[in-house]
Amino acid sequence: MKQYNILFLCTHNSARSILGEALASTHPRGLFVGYSAGSTPGTSVNPFAAELTMEMGYDQSKLRSKSWDDFGLPDAPKMDFIITVCDNAAGEQCPYWPGNPATAHWGFPDPSQVQGSDEQKKRAFRDVMIGLKKRIDILAAMPLDSLDSLSLKEIHTKA
């Protein structure tokens, strides 16, 4: 079975994109290898995001904030899909992606900006995780070999 590389982008690569990476990599259909990166990566992964990835069974040694420049290098994995998950990253000038991957923007509010109790913060992260999971489930049910950017963007409206 062919696996598809999917790169989730956000500004700091500490929350939403990390959740996307873990969800794609642990998806039950085994179709995806998830990656994540940011335009200005942070110094660490948000602890609430890390906790959710642990619940998914994602390899914790892979959790780190990475620069999206790493994925534009000649020896970087070739991406099939690139998805921005925050409005800031969607509006930034992205590096050149070898192989002409399909791209889309699946915007989610930044859960790390939620104020309140730890329970309220955890709920915000879980809400983003659920939204990403719905979109990845829809993607996994589509004919992946024939997807283009327009089809990938339509997932945003279906979820």
Q: What is the pLDDT of residue 64?
A: 95
Please tell me the distance from the alpha carbon of residue 116 to that of residue 75, in angstroms, as a whole number: 43
Could you tell me the residue range of the domain that residue 50 belongs to?
4-149
Tokens of 91: 């509006």
Q: Does residue 155 belong to any structural domain of this protein?
A: no
Q: What is the pLDDT of residue 159?
A: 67
Q: Does residue 116 belong to any structural domain of this protein?
A: yes
Residues 153 and 105: beta-carbon distance below 8 Å = yes
Give the CATH number for residue 68: 3.40.50.2300
Q: Does residue 159 belong to any structural domain of this protein?
A: no
pLDDT higher than 80, residue 147: no
Q: Does residue 158 belong to any structural domain of this protein?
A: no
Q: Please give the residue that has the higher pLDDT: either 156 or 49.
A: 49
pTM: 0.91
Please tell me the distance from the alpha carbon of residue 39 to that of residue 11, in angstroms, as a whole number: 5
Q: Does residue 156 belong to any structural domain of this protein?
A: no
Q: Does residue 137 belong to any structural domain of this protein?
A: yes
Number of domains in the chain: 1
Quick: pLDDT tens for 4-18.
999 999 989 999 999
pLDDT higher than 60, residue 157: yes
Catalytic positions, written as ranges: 10, 86, 94
Q: What is the pLDDT of residue 158?
A: 67
Q: Per-residue pLDDT averaged across 34-51, rounded? A: 95
Q: Please give the residue that has the higher pLDDT: either 86 or 132.
A: 132
Q: Does residue 82 belong to any structural domain of this protein?
A: yes
